[in-house]
Every structure is written in C-alpha cells, then in structure tokens.
Chain A
Amino acid sequence: MSDFIGIFLAVLLAILIAPHVQKHAGAILSGVTRINFVQRNGVLISTYLIVAVLTWTVVMIVLPQLYMMDYSFRHNLLPNDIGGPKDVHTLEHYRYLLFGRPGDVELMNWLHLKVFGRTILVSVLITLVDFALCYPIAYYMAQVAKGGKARLLVLCLILPFWVNEILRAFAFRILFGTGGVINVLLVGMGFVDEPIDFLKADVGLYAGLSYAYILLMIFPIYNAVESLDHNQVEAARDLGSPWWRIHYRVVMPHAKPGIASGCTMVFMLCAGALAAPQILGGPSSLWFTQIIYQWFNTGGNWPRGAAYAFVLLIICIVFVMAVMRVFNVRFGEIAK
C-alpha cells in the first residue's frame, strides 16, 4: 500500500514540478531538450515517463527485493535485538535449506530439497504440456482461421479467465474430487469400480496449473506466428515438406522468440504459484512456495522465507537463461 502512495506522490510531484522547471531553469532546459528522447516526447511527457518508470522499477521492484535480499542474510531476531550486536549477516538460512538443522541425522535437508526439485521439474513439465497444447491453437488462430472465427476463439479463451483464480481452482477440485464430475462419469460408465482420488495423485494440481497459464503461452506464440508470411508455409509445402517439418524448420524458428517468452512466463509463474497448490495440492505433497509461505506466515521466520524465495528466484532465472542459451534465443528477442 505504501508503495502505491509512493508512486502516486512521485507522479504528482513530477506533474507539479515539470512546468516550473520549464519556466525558470532555462539553462537546464536547453541542456535537457538537446537529449533525443526529450526532443521526441516533449519535456512534460518525457519527465513523466522517466519518473514513472524509475519509480516503478526502483520503488516497486528493486527496493523491496534488495530489502528482502538483505533480510535473507540476517538472523531471525526478536524485535528487541534488531540493530543490536546480534544483528549480523549470516548464511544460516541458505545452509538450512541445503543441510537442515545442524546435528540432524540426515546429511542434507532432503524434505525441502525434494520439494524444490519437484517444483522445478513439474513446472518444466507443465510448461511443456502447455506448449504442446497451445502451439497448435496459436498456429490455428494466427495462420489458418480467418477474421471472425479467430476472434470467437480468442473470446472463448479469454472469457473463462474472468472468473478469479481461487474460484477456478475450486472448480477444478469439484471436477477432479472423488465425488466430482469426472469420477461420477467414469464410475457411471463403468470404466472404474471405485472413484479415483485425482487430487491425491496431484492430477488436479497439474491440470489446474496447466490451465491457469494457458493464455500466457498462447498469446506470445500467436503474435510471433502471426507475423510469419503464409507464403513461407506454402513454399515449404510446395517443396515437398510434410507438415511436421514445416513447423520444425519454418514456423518454430520464426516463432522462437514468442515461444521463449511464453515458456519463460509459464515456467516462472508456475514455479511461483501459490493459490493453485494450496487448493489443489494433495495432502502429502508440497509446492516450494508453500514452504516459503509457511516461513513467512506460521513459521514466523521472515529471513528464512526470504532466503528460500531467493533461491527459488535465482535458480529459476539461471534455469531459464540456460535453456535460452541451449535454444539460442537472445534475451532482447523475447521482449519483441
């Protein structure tokens, strides 16, 4: 909340100050207006843009993260001790994630590491599933369907997302629960004798997560594929190419930036999801974010939560960078 007030004040300030700067400080002005960016957008608008973007990145993104990072290197102290002699930097929390409590029988903190590994692995799988589901839809919308049909499809894809995340997650519970629609159908039609506990097997979670980020996969790919000249697809076909090779050699290389940005977003958001695992996760399975949440919340250990969150963030970034490296995608491209 205070972030919001901060940015609001900064914007207000910018709007109030800018005309004064313009009026009084002629020398500054003539220097400033020589900057290309200012020339293009005018003094008022460029001031607003710079201040707004800086406020946004610094106040809302960089500062809190730095604060959290610092936090993750401190002991979890009682309020009285903060600022006192005990308040020193430490690797305690990172050590905890790796090795657990000192003196534990286990060498490593397998419980948390396993959850971590599983979170990453499942996120990768969900990203792959989403890609496999969305690529054909995106291709169809971008290259095959014409006008009205494509728009209808977009609408059908977007509308369900008006329902909020929590409600959607609970809907999946209803769908996949032991007394849920799917089980009723399966038992009713005699495919199985007993209802299957999909939620316990995490099927509900995987399905929920896959569905949650589908749009973030479709639209970047759609954008990228749409800019492909359809003649190239036809040229490849005319040269004798079967459909799969057209995609592999012509469409996908062209859509690579879109695919990369879709996959990155889905993977990151999936690994960082909280609501879906809370609602749809089986009783015995945890998502890494749930552990983080526990440290912050019931565990009352913010520094440890911060350390865990940082490890997740860093590993995700490293992983994404590595994958992009392998597929030869440059970072600038995914912003296109």
Chain B
Amino acid sequence: MSADVELDHVTIRFGDFTAVNDANLRIEEGEFFSFLGPSGCGKTTILRAVSGFLDPSEGEVRIGGKNMWGIGPNKRPTALIFQNLALFPLMSVADNIAFGLEVRGVSKFERRKRADELLSLIALSDQGEKLVTALSGGQRQRVAIARALAVEPEVLLLDEPLSALDLKLRQHMRTELRAIQQRVGITFIYITHDQGEALTMSDRVAVMSAGVVQQIDNGTTIYNDPATAFVASFVGENNPFSGKVTKADNGFAVIDSKFGPLRGRNNQGLKEGDDAILFIRPEALVLANGKAQSENVVEAAVVNEEFEGQFVKIYLKGEGPKDIGLSVINDASTELPEEGQTTRIVFDPDRAVVLPVGEMADE
C-alpha cells in the first residue's frame, strides 16, 4: 500500500544549469515528508523526477527499492497533485475523481461506487454531479486529493497545493491534509515554500537552497538546531552576528562580534580562527533591564517598536543594515525602552547556535 522513496546521488541538469545537485535522501513508508525552500530552488524539479516527468541526469530515484529510470509517470505508483491542481474543467467532480479508474478500465458501476466513497472521504457527498468550476477553492483542493487517491498510489506527491488558498483556508486544509494522510497511511511528499506548512504537517523536512539539500530533520530540530547559515536564516526569524571563533570547547564556541564576545552552541565542530555566524532567535533575546550579566550582552539603540498584541517587537540597530529583533511578552511588569534609547539585551548561550559562514536566505 505504501512505499519508501530513495534519492541516490540525484543530480538534475537543464543544459548547463544544475537545478538539483547531488540529493541523497530516503523517505520512509508512510512518512509525511516535506521539501522546503525558496522559489526556484529545485523543489518542483525533484518532484517531477519522483513522479516520472523527467529522469535525473545522474543518480537514481528508487521507489520501493526499484530503480525508476525510464519508467513514465503513468507507470509509477505515484500520484501528483499539481501546483494549480489541473482538474479537468469539462468533467464533473465525480468524473474527475474517477478518471484514473476509467483509464484502468474499471466498470462504470464500480467507478461510481469508488467516487462516492472518496466524495464522502473529502466531505463532498452529493456534489459529484457538479462541474469542478462550480466549486470553491478549498473544495477543488479536496477534489484534487480525491482524484489522486482514487488510483491508490503508494506515494502521493503534492506541489504547493495550498498556495492558491487564503490564509484561513490554508490553515484548515493543513489539518485536513494531515488527517487524510494518517487515515490512508501512504507516503506523502509535500512541497512548499511556506515554513509554517512544512513544520506543522511533516514528520521530516528537507530544507533546500539553490538545488542543494541543506538539512533533513524533524521540524523541532530544523528550528532549534539548524545545520547551516541558510537554514538558520530561512526557517523562522533569526538574528545573525558574525565574527571569528576565538574559543571552541565543550560543545560551545565564542565569536568576537562587533558587540563583543558572544557564545553559543557549536554543533558543527568549528575551530578557533574559523569565520562563523552566531544565530539567536528573537524570542530567546531578553531585555537586561539593569540586571548584571557576565556574557552575551549586546548593547544597541532602539530603532523601532511594534505592538503585536501578545508580543511587542523591539528592533535594535544591528551590525549591518538589518536590525536586531526581539519579541517581548506583553505583560505589564516588563519595562519597555523608549525609541532611540540605548539598551542592553542578553541571551542564554544554550539557545544560540554558532554556524560556519555560508549563504544566507534573503528576506
């Protein structure tokens, strides 16, 4: 019913351009796996290689242990949900869903029955006779999922299927997708450039940048322990401080930033003298408010404050053009600095990571 997918040294080139560079990963049976990355990083290209619309220039795509080279999309145990859904507008909802069965020569009666079952799975019973153009965005979404599930694929591939929906519906569909995946139990490979989507739904996430898979891990690890500067700057908000490593011991490293020495966890084995960036999340930064602190003190002028209800976002003048952001919980007890005032902020070294210098995600 379900199968694992392996990418073994997969490189995909279009002429001289390398869209995917040496991707190696294994997606387990029944896993909800996401590819996360900015536009143009090669996510769709990877998905097309798995679904069979193109073959890798180098390396192998294996599904259920079998090399898929040269096997067309109509012969693979995968079903793809397109970025724009690509429902058939001239067919009814039920005919759309049953198309894959029609292709397989299933009898009309049997098709009808399967379509009805799937319609009730996606909570659209009795709407089978409608044209797909008569449905709302979210309903179409579900029809696309039902159409793909109808052929009982072992792997379902989803290419940013929620990107066209508004925020409310998107959040609702996330939960729904996850629920459907757990119900049918097949492998889902999900593509998105929306980190919220990737982190909430997936068992594991592969973060990509410019054709290179940067890190593969579960959402918590990706967020708390990014492996590269790109992942740290792409997933969630992060404040970078750059400098040379002056000391590295016991899993921690100290860098000499413009604001003085800063210490954070050193998971990537940086050594003294290496160029590095320390990343600290806005929610891990706290206002010193007079308290004495021996390390990880940053002193800078407040440039802006934004009231967000639950939080107050404070921006300080950073080392470069980018401001340092911190979120302060909006409770009456915290004394907020004035705009223009120089203030001190501190952080726990356990919550900061020191990473090798590398490509950063641009906002």
Binding site for B on A (CB under 8 A): 229, 231-232, 234-242, 245, 249-250, 253-254
Contact = CB atoms under 8 A, between A and B. Distances in A.
A234 B74 contact: no
B99 interface: yes
Contacts of A253: 90
**Lowest 5 CB-CB distances: which A-B pairs, in order?**
A231-B86, A239-B100, A235-B86, A240-B74, A238-B73
A237 B88 contact: no
A302 to B, nearest CB: 48
B291 interface: no
Contacts of A238: 51-53, 73-74, 78-80
B172 interface: no
A171 B123 CA distance: 65
A234 B79 CA distance: 11
Contact of A241 (B80, B82, B83, B103): B103
Nearest to B90: A253
B202 to A, nearest CB: 22
A238 B51 CA distance: 8
Given A239-B147, A239-B151, A234 B72 contact: no
Given A238-B78, A254-B90, 19 more contacts: A229-B86, A231-B84, A234-B80, A235-B87, A236-B88, A237-B73, A237-B74, A238-B52, A238-B53, A238-B73, A239-B99, A239-B148, A239-B151, A240-B100, A240-B103, A242-B74, A249-B102, A250-B88, A253-B90
Main DSSP-derived SS at the A contact region: helix
B90 A235 contact: no
B168 interface: no
Highest count of chain B CB atoms <10 Å: which of A229, A231, A238, A253: A238
A250 B90 CA distance: 8
B183 interface: no
A241 B74 contact: yes
A239 B82 contact: no
Nearest to B78: A238
B337 to A, nearest CB: 53
Given A231-B84, A232-B88, A239-B147, A249 B72 contact: no
Nearest to A239: B100
A245 B86 contact: no
Interface string B53-80: 1000000000000000000111100111
Interface size class of B (residues with CB under 8 A): 20 to 34
A240 B82 contact: no
B151 A240 contact: yes
Contacts of A239: 74, 79, 99-100, 103, 147-148, 151
Contacts of B75: 240
A241 B104 CA distance: 8
A238 B151 CA distance: 10
Nearest to A241: B103
A234 B151 contact: no
Nearest to A230: B86
A336 to B, nearest CB: 14
Given A240-B151, A253-B90, A229 B73 contact: no
**Of residues B74, B79, B87, B151, which shows the largest number of chain A Cβ atoms within 10 Å of its Cβ?**
B74
Given A245-B103, A249-B99, A237 B72 contact: yes
Nearest to A253: B90
B82 A235 contact: yes
Contacts of B90: 253-254
A232 B88 CA distance: 7
Contacts of A235: 80, 82, 86-88
Contact of B82 (A234, A242, A250, A254): A234
A234 B86 contact: yes
Contacts of B52: 238
A234 B72 CA distance: 11
B191 to A, nearest CB: 15
B79 A236 contact: no
Interface centre among B52, B83, B86 (most CB of A within 10 A): B86
Contacts of A236: 88, 99, 103
A245 B75 CA distance: 15
A235 B53 CA distance: 10
A234 B53 contact: yes
B84 A229 contact: yes
Nearest to B51: A238
29 contacts: A229-B86, A231-B84, A231-B86, A234-B53, A234-B86, A235-B86, A235-B87, A236-B88, A236-B99, A236-B103, A237-B72, A237-B73, A238-B73, A238-B78, A238-B79, A239-B74, A239-B103, A239-B148, A239-B151, A240-B74, A240-B75, A240-B100, A240-B103, A240-B104, A240-B151, A242-B74, A242-B103, A249-B88, A254-B90
